[in-house]
Amino acid sequence: MPSSVAKRISAEDRLDRLFHALSDRTRRALLRRLETGPAMVTELAAPFRMSLPAVSKHLRVLEAAALIKRRVDGRIHRCSLNAAPLEEAERWLERYRFFWTDRLAALARYAEGENR
């Protein structure tokens, strides 16, 4: 996605694309594979029981969320991980951290009270 287009996408739209991309286990598996380094699309598709076009659709969703970058050299497509968008998701989730930490602390207090 050209940077000029990426700049016009709102923060909310970026989060929507990011969480949509992360909502699928195949796409999360593709990201886990890319943690180890860049790979060709055919290498990424190998472990899955789906067609190459189906894997390519998943990769396009990851690209739309800016989670991967694709470099094309002739017929060879090489993908690499771009984890930077996850920082935006982390900032968004951080706003809600106190909900689960507060509940866990309350549960711990309750459990400790029960054991006395």
The pLDDT of residue 115: 57
- pLDDT of 19 above 90: yes
More confident: 10 or 4: 10
Count of CB atoms within 10 A of residue 58's CB?
20
The pLDDT of residue 105: 72
Q: What is the CA radius of gyration of the chain?
A: 19
Distance CA 54, CA 50 (A): 6
**Number of domains making up the chain:** 1
User: What pairs with residue 84 in β-bridges?
Assistant: none
More confident: 116 or 78: 78
How would residue 1 be classed by pLDDT, with cut points 50, 70 and 90?
very low
pTM of structure: 0.77
Sheet with strand 39-40: strands edge to edge = 39-40, 76-81, 68-73
Residue 104 falls inside a structural domain: no
- The parent domain of residue 51 ranges over 3-85
Mean pLDDT of 69-94: 94
The pLDDT of residue 116: 56
CATH value at residue 81: 1.10.10.10
Residue 9 falls inside a structural domain: yes
Burial annotation 24-57 (CB, 10 A radius, 16+ → b, else e): eeebeebbebbeeeebebeebbeeeeeeeeebee
Residue 40 falls inside a structural domain: yes
Distance CA 109, CA 76 (A): 57
